[in-house]
C-alpha cells in the first residue's frame, strides 16, 4: 500500500500503505478552514465550516433512507439521478446536501456536474463551499472551460465558497496563479481566502510567492500559511524573510515551518551562515517538532553543520535523534568515527535502521560489524534490514553479483525475501542491477507469498521487460487474481504486460516500422484474462495494461464502476449506527492502546461513515491488535494497520474514498492509499499540519486525548489494542 507523501521530502506512499513503492499523492483539494483559528491547539480548535454544517442537529428520521441511498450511490460509484434529486431538494438537511455534493465530486456523470454548478451559484453557503470542493475533485479528470471560469469568478468574489474555489483551481496553474496574485494584492480579501491563497502559492508552480509582509504577520494563521509556502518554494529572497521571522517571537507551529525553509537549497552560499546560526538556535527550542525541522534543515548544510547535528544525536526525543542521524552521516560522509558515534547513540531498531539507510549512500563498505552479523538474527526485521541495506553495500564494494542474495531470498519469512529483492536492485548502479538479477526475479515471481511476487513483478515492470517473460506473466495472473492479501502482484503484472507490449510493437529508435516480437496468441490470452473481484480495482488496472487491455466491462479507467452491491438495508444500518449518533453529538470513538500509552480518537461518522464502519468491523475482529507502527516519519506521520509489517499488506479488499475538505491538522486520522479507492486496513496519524494532504486522502477522525503519546510514537512501536466504542 502506498503512503502519504511529505510536502518537502518524498517518503514512499499508503496506500500513506507503503501511504509499498512511491505513489504520486493526489492533488490537494480541500479547505484548510482551521487556519482561521490562529494558534489554538488541535484539541481546542473548533470544527471548520463543513463540519459545522454536518453537526447542527439530527435530521428528521424521514431522511435516514435518502442518506442511505446517497451512501450506496457513492460506494457503488454509480450516479443515481433520483437519489441526488431527493438529497439536494430545497428542504433537504444541509448536512445531507453537503455529503451528497462531496460524493458527486468523485463521480464522473455529467448530470452530477450540473448539480454542482447549481449549488455553487445557490444561496446556501455550506452547499456552495461543498460544491466548489467537489468540482475541484472532479477537475483532476478535466472540466469544461466554462466551469473553470465560474470557479475563477467565485474565487475572487470573496464569498463563502471563495477559499474552496481557490483550492479547486489547483489543476489549472495559469488560472490559479492569476487568482492567487489578485487575492494576495487585495488587503480587503477575506482572511480565509487569503490563507488559502497563501497555501496554494506554495503548492502550485506558477503561483506568486507569498509577500514578506505576510510572512512577518502577527496573525498566526496568516503567518503559518505564508511561512509554509515560503518553505516549499526555497528561494533566497524568501529565505531572508524567514530569517527575519526566526528572530520574532512566534508560536512553535510557525517556527517549525521557518526551520524547514532554511535548508541549503533556499539559502545558497550567501545566506548559509546566517541560516545555520538560526537553525542552531532552533535546535535548542523546547518543542521537539521545531527541533526536528531544524535538524532536518541543518542536514542539508553539509560538513559545516556537523557539530550541532552530532549534539542532536543525544536529544531526549527519539524522532529528533532519528532526523539527526541522516544529516550527521551526510555531513561526515566517509568518516568511520561518525558511523560509530551514530550507531552507538541509540540502540533502538528504528534509529539503527536510519543509520543503515544513510550509509547506503556512501561508497565502500561502511556498515557496522554488528549489522553485518544480522544475516542470521532471530528477529526477521534485522534479517530484512541486512538484506535490504547491508548486503547491497557489500555487493557494490566487491563488484559482486546477485548470488550474494541467495540466502535471504530463501529465508523462511516472506518479508525477508521481499527485502532481499529490494536490496538486490539497490546493489547495482541504476539501471543496471548485479549480475544474475533477472533469473532471480523470475524465480521470485513463482514465490508462494503474494508479497514477494508483488515485489518481483513490480521490479520486472520497472526494468526493461523481456517479451520472453510474457507467457510467465499471463500464467502468473491466474494465481495473482486469487490473492486476498495484496493486489500489488496484479498491479505489477498489469504494468509489465503493458510495457512489454508497447516495447514489442513500437518502432525501434531510428526505425519507422514497428518491431513484431509479439505473438498473437499472447494478445488473445491478455484479452481473456479474468478480472479481479473488485470492479474499482479492475478499472484502475485497465490503465496499466496500456493499449492492449483485457476484455473486461470497463471501457475507460476513468469511468464510474459500481462496486459489489450491498442491499440498501446495510447502508441504512450504517446511517443508524454511525451517521445519526455523530450528527447528534455522540460520534464513535477509537481507543488506541499502544506500547507508549493510549490515544483517544473521535471518529468522523458524519463525513466518512463507510471508512469508520470498516475500521470498526476490523477492530471487532481484533485485526489491529499486536501490529506495529511500520512507518513513523519525523514531523510527518505515524502509520499502522499493516498485518505484514512491511507497508504492503492489507485485508484483501479495498474500500471507497470519502473525500472531504477537512484539513490535516496535527492528530488527524487519514486512510492510507496507493491510488483512488484503494484503502483497506492501513491508516495514518499526522504528527504536524500537512495541508498538501487535504482532499487527497479520506479524513475519518482526530486525536482528542493522549497528545503526549502521539508525540512519543516511534517506528516498530506496537498497537496493543484498537477498539471502537459508540
pLDDT digits (tens, 9 = 90+) for 43-72: 333 344 444 445 457 889 999 999 999 999
Q: Domain for residue 702, yes or no?
A: yes
Mean pLDDT of 288-297: 97
Q: Are 605 and 667 in a shared domain? A: yes
User: Which of these ranges, 178-182, 289-293, 381-385, 550-554, has the smallest mean pLDDT?
Assistant: 550-554
Please say if the pLDDT value at position 333 is more than 60: yes
User: C-alpha dihedral over 642, 646, 651, 657, to 10 degrees?
Assistant: 70
Q: Are 555 and 614 in a shared domain? A: no
Q: Domain for residue 513, yes or no?
A: yes
pLDDT band at 176 (very low <50, low <70, confident <90, very high): very high
> Which residue, of 521, 541, 559, is where some domain finishes?
559
pLDDT band at 564 (very low <50, low <70, confident <90, very high): low
Q: Are 660 and 694 in a shared domain? A: yes
Q: Are 473 and 529 in a shared domain? A: yes
Q: Read off the CATH number of the domain in which 705 is found.
A: 2.40.100.10
> Which residue, of 523, 544, 559, is where some domain finishes?
559
Q: Are 616 and 673 in a shared domain? A: yes
pLDDT band at 27 (very low <50, low <70, confident <90, very high): very low
The confidence score (pLDDT) of residue 601 equals 98
User: Which of these ranges, 16-20, 206-210, 214-218, 274-278, has the smallest mean pLDDT?
Assistant: 16-20
Question: Which structural domain range is residue 659 located in?
Answer: 33-46+585-725
Mean pLDDT of 330-357: 94
> Which residue, of 508, 525, 559, is where some domain finishes?
559
Mean pLDDT of 505-529: 81
Please say if the pLDDT value at position 481 is more than 60: yes
Mean pLDDT of 19-27: 32
Answer yes or no: are the C-beta atoms of 417 and 411 closer than 8 Å.
Answer: yes
DSSP code per residue over 594-659:
ETTEEEEEEE-TTT-HHHHHHHHHHHHTT-STT-B--EE-TTSEEEE--TTSSS----SS-B----
Mean pLDDT of 73-92: 95
The percent of residues above 90 in pLDDT, for the chain, comes to 74
User: Which of these ranges, 30-44, 123-137, 607-621, 693-707, has the smallest mean pLDDT?
Assistant: 30-44
Q: Domain for residue 228, yes or no?
A: no
The confidence score (pLDDT) of residue 486 equals 63
The confidence score (pLDDT) of residue 8 equals 42
The confidence score (pLDDT) of residue 39 equals 36
**Range among 158-162, 650-654, 673-677 rated most confident:** 158-162
Q: Domain for residue 97, yes or no?
A: no
Please say if the pLDDT value at position 96 is more than 80: yes
Mean pLDDT of 661-682: 94
Q: Are 475 and 548 in a shared domain? A: yes
Lay out the sheet containing 719-725: strands in order across. 631-632, 637-640, 683-686, 668-671, 699-705, 597-603, 589-594, 719-725
Q: Domain for residue 470, yes or no?
A: yes
Please say if the pLDDT value at position 657 is more than 80: yes
Q: Are 554 and 654 in a shared domain? A: no
The confidence score (pLDDT) of residue 30 equals 34
Q: Which own/partner pairs from 182-186 qualify as long-range (CB within 8 Å, at least 24 positions apart)?
A: 182/156, 183/155, 183/156, 184/208, 184/210, 184/211, 184/214
User: Which of these ranges, 269-283, 343-357, 532-546, 673-687, has the smallest mean pLDDT?
Assistant: 532-546
The confidence score (pLDDT) of residue 49 equals 45
User: Which of these ranges, 28-42, 154-168, 203-217, 450-464, has the smallest mean pLDDT?
Assistant: 28-42
Mean pLDDT of 403-423: 96
Q: Domain for residue 701, yes or no?
A: yes
Q: Domain for residue 95, yes or no?
A: no
Domain count, the chain: 2
Higher pLDDT, 82 or 543: 82
Mean pLDDT, the chain, integer: 88
Higher pLDDT, 43 or 587: 587
CA distance 275 to 239: 8
The confidence score (pLDDT) of residue 650 equals 87
Q: Are 487 and 595 in a shared domain? A: no
Please say if the pLDDT value at position 42 is more than 70: no
Q: Are 598 and 542 in a shared domain? A: no
First-residue to last-residue Cα distance in the chain: 29
Q: Are 679 and 607 in a shared domain? A: yes
Q: Are 719 and 671 in a shared domain? A: yes
CA distance 60 to 67: 11
CA distance 698 to 167: 17
The percent of residues above 70 in pLDDT, for the chain, comes to 89
Cβ burial of 289 (10 Å; 0-12, 13-18, 19+) is: buried
Please say if the pLDDT value at position 477 is more than 80: yes
Q: Are 590 and 514 in a shared domain? A: no
Task: Name every residue whose Cβ is closer than 8 Å to that of residue 681 and which is 6 or more positions away in sequence.
Answer: 618, 623, 624, 641, 642, 643, 649, 650, 651
Q: Domain for residue 612, yes or no?
A: yes
pLDDT band at 3 (very low <50, low <70, confident <90, very high): low
What is the pTM for the complete model shown?
Answer: 0.87
Amino acid at each position: 500500500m502506498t503512503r502519504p507523501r511529505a510536502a518537502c521530502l518524498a517518503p514512499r506512499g499508503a496506500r500513506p500503505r507503503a501511504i509499498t513503492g512511491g505513489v504520486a499523492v493526489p492533488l490537494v483539494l480541500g479547505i484548510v478552514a482551521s487556519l482561521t483559528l490562529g494558534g489554538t491547539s488541535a484539541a481546542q480548535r473548533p470544527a471548520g465550516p463543513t463540519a459545522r454544517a454536518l453537526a447542527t442537529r439530527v435530521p428528521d428520521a424521514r431522511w435516514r433512507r435518502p442518506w442511505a441511498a446517497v451512501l450506496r450511490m457513492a460506494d457503488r460509484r454509480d450516479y443515481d439521478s433520483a437519489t441526488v434529486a431527493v438529497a439536494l431538494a430545497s428542504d433537504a438537511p444541509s448536512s445531507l446536501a453537503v455529503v451528497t455534493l462531496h460524493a458527486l465530486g468523485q463521480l464522473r456523470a455529467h448530470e452530477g456536474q450540473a448539480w454542482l454548478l447549481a449549488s455553487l451559484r445557490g444561496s446556501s453557503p455550506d452547499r456552495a463551499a461543498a460544491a466548489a470542493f467537489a468540482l475541484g475533485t472532479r477537475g483532476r479528470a478535466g472540466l469544461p472551460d466554462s466551469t473553470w471560469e465560474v470557479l475563477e469568478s467565485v474565487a475572487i468574489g470573496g464569498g463563502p465558497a471563495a477559499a474552496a474555489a481557490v483550492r479547486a483551481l489547483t489543476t489549472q496553474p495559469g488560472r490559479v496563479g492569476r487568482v492567487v496574485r489578485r487575492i494576495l494584492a487585495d488587503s480587503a480579501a477575506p482572511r480565509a481566502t487569503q490563507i488559502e491563497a497563501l497555501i496554494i502559492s506554495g503548492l502550485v508552480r506558477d503561483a506568486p510567492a507569498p509577500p514578506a509582509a505576510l510572512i512577518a504577520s502577527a496573525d498566526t494563521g496568516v503567518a503559518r500559511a505564508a511561512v509554509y509556502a515560503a518553505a516549499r518554494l526555497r528561494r533566497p529572497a524568501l529565505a531572508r524573510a524567514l530569517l527575519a521571522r526566526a528572530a520574532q517571537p512566534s508560536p512553535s507551529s510557525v517556527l517549525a515551518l521557518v526551520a524547514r525553509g532554511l535548508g541549503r537549497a533556499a539559502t545558497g552560499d550567501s545566506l548559509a551562515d546566517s541560516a545555520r546560526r538560526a537553525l542552531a538556535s532552533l535546535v535548542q527550542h523546547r518543542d521537539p517538532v521545531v527541533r526536528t525541522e531544524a535538524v532536518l534543515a541543518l542536514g542539508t548544510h553539509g560538513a559545516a553543520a556537523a557539530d550541532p547535528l552530532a549534539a542532536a544525536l543525544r536529544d531526549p526525543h527519539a524522532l529528533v535523534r532519528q532526523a539527526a542521524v541522516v544529516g550527521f552521516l551526510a555531513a561526515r560522509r566517509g568518516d568511520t568515527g561518525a558511523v560509530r558515534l551514530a550507531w552507538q547513540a541509540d540502540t533502538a531498531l528504528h534509529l539503527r535502521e536510519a543509520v543503515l539507510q544513510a550509509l547506503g549512500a556512501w561508497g565502500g563498505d561502511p556498515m557496522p560489524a554488528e549489522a553485518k552479523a544480522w544475516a542470521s538474527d532471530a528477529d526477521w526485521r534485522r534479517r530484512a534490514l541486512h538484506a535490504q541495506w547491508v548486503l547491497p553495500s557489500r555487493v557494490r564494494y566487491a563488484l559482486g553479483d546477485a548470488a550474494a542474495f541467495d540466502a535471504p531470498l530463501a529465508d523462511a519469512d516472506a518479508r525477508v525475501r521481499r527485502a532481499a529483492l529490494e536490496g538486490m536492485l539497490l546493489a547495482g548502479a541504476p539501471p543496471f542491477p548485479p549480475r544474475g538479477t533477472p533469473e532471480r526475479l523470475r524465480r521470485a515471481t513463482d514465490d508462494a507469498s503474494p508479497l514477494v511476487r508483488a515485489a518481483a513483478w513490480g521490479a520486472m515492470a520497472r526494468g526493461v521487460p523481456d517479451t520472453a517473460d510474457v507467457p510467465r506473466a499471463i500464467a502468473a495472473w491466474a494465481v495473482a487474481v486469487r490473492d486476498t492479501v495484496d493486489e500489488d502482484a496484479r498491479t505489477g503484472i498489469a504494468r509489465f504486460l503493458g510495457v512489454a507490449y508497447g516495447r514489442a510493437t513500437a518502432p525501434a529508435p531510428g526505425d519507422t516500422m514497428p518491431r513484431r516480437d509479439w505473438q498473437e496468441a499472447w494478445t488473445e490470452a491478455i484479452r481473456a484474462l479474468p478480472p479481479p473481484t473488485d470492479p474499482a480495482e479492475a478499472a484502475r488496472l485497465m490503465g496499466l495494461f496500456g493499449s492492449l487491455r483485457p476484455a473486461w466491462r470497463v471501457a475507460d479507467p476513468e469511468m464510474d464502476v459500481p462496486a459489489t452491491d450491498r442491499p440498501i438495508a446495510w447502508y441504512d444500518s450504517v446511517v443508524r449506527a454511525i451517521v445519526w449518533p455523530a450528527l447528534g453529538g455522540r460520534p464513535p470513538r477509537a481507543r488506541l492502546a499502544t506500547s507508549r500509552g493510549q490515544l483517544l480518537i473521535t471518529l468522523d461518522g458524519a463525513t466518512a461513515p463507510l471508512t469508520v464502519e470498516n475500521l470498526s468491523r476490523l477492530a471487532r475482529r481484533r485485526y489491529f491488535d499486536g501490529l506495529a507502527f511500520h512507518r513513523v516519519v519525523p514531523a510527518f506521520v505515524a502509520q499502522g494497520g499493516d498485518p505484514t509489517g512491511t507497508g504492503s499488506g492489507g485485508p484483501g479488499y479495498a474500500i471507497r474514498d470519502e473525500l472531504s475538505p477537512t484539513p490535516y491538522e496535527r492528530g488527524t486520522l487519514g486512510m492510507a492509499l496507493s491510488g483512488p479507492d484503494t484503502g483497506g486496513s492501513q491508516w495514518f496519524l499526522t504528527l504536524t499540519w500537512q495541508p498538501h494532504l487535504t482532499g487527497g486522502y479520506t479524513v475519518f477522525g482526530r486525536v482528542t486525548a493522549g497528545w503526549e503519546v502521539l508525540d512519543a510514537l516511534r517506528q516498530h512501536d506496537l498497537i496493543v489494542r484498537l477498539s471502537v466504542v459508540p
